């Protein structure tokens, strides 16, 4: 890892602190040519109350295990929100690097691959081995961040 990887991973931690999720705070940053193109954190879509506002986590109340049934959550994942932000504002991310506090799930992996992201750097693991298989098959470089 070089000094730029360190800087961008630090930024993912700052972005994660904006999350309204009660279970896990996740931040993501997409970079091209050492420039931040988009940021995102896990949280409810615009106009939808977050779990913080609701006073409890839907997944916890339903007993849903981490890494499963991602659709049963009010929040969109940080990676999804980062890709959506780039699309919404017409920012080119093809060929970029996605830095994330956590390993992307399989759903996010599919979106990342189709968006043309060529490299993913993450800090914390996530119980979804299938996402790593998808990245490998697609030829997307994935690196676990370690100092």
Q: How many CA atoms lie within 13 A of 42 on its CB side?
A: 20
Q: Please compute the mean of the pLDDT values over residues 106-125 and round it to a whole number.
A: 97
The catalytic residue among 13, 49, 65, 79 is: 79
Tens digit of pLDDT for each residue in 18-55?
A: 999 888 999 999 999 999 999 999 999 999 999 999 99
Question: At a CB cut-off of 8 Å and minimum separation 6, what does 23 contact?
Answer: 57, 59, 60, 66
Residue 70 has pLDDT above 90, yes or no: no
Token pair belonging to 70: 């991602």
Report the chain's C-alpha Rg in angstroms. Answer: 15
Token pair belonging to 136: 């490998």
The DSSP 8-state label assigned to residue 30 in this structure reads E
Nearest alpha carbon to residue 138 among 30, 115, 128, 24: 115
Question: Is 71 a residue of the active site?
Answer: no
pTM for the whole thing? Answer: 0.93
pLDDT at position 132 is 96
């Amino acid at each position: 890892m070089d000094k730029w990887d360190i800087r961008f991973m630090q930024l993912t931690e700052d972005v994660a602190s904006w999350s309204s999720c009660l279970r896990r705070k996740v931040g993501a940053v997409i970079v091209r040519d050492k420039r931040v193109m988009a940021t995102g954190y896990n949280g409810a879509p615009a106009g939808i109350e977050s779990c913080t506002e609701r006073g409890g986590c839907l997944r916890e109340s339903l007993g849903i295990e981490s890494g499963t049934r991602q659709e049963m959550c009010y929040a969109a994942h940080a990676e999804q929100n980062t890709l959506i932000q780039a699309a919404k504002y017409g920012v080119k991310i093809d060929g970029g690097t996605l830095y994330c506090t956590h390993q992307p799930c399989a759903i996010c992996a599919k979106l990342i691959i189709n968006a043309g992201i060529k490299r993913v750097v993450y800090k914390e693991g996530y119980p979804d081995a299938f996402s790593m298989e998808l990245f490998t098959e697609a030829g997307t470089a994935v690196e676990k961040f370690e100092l």
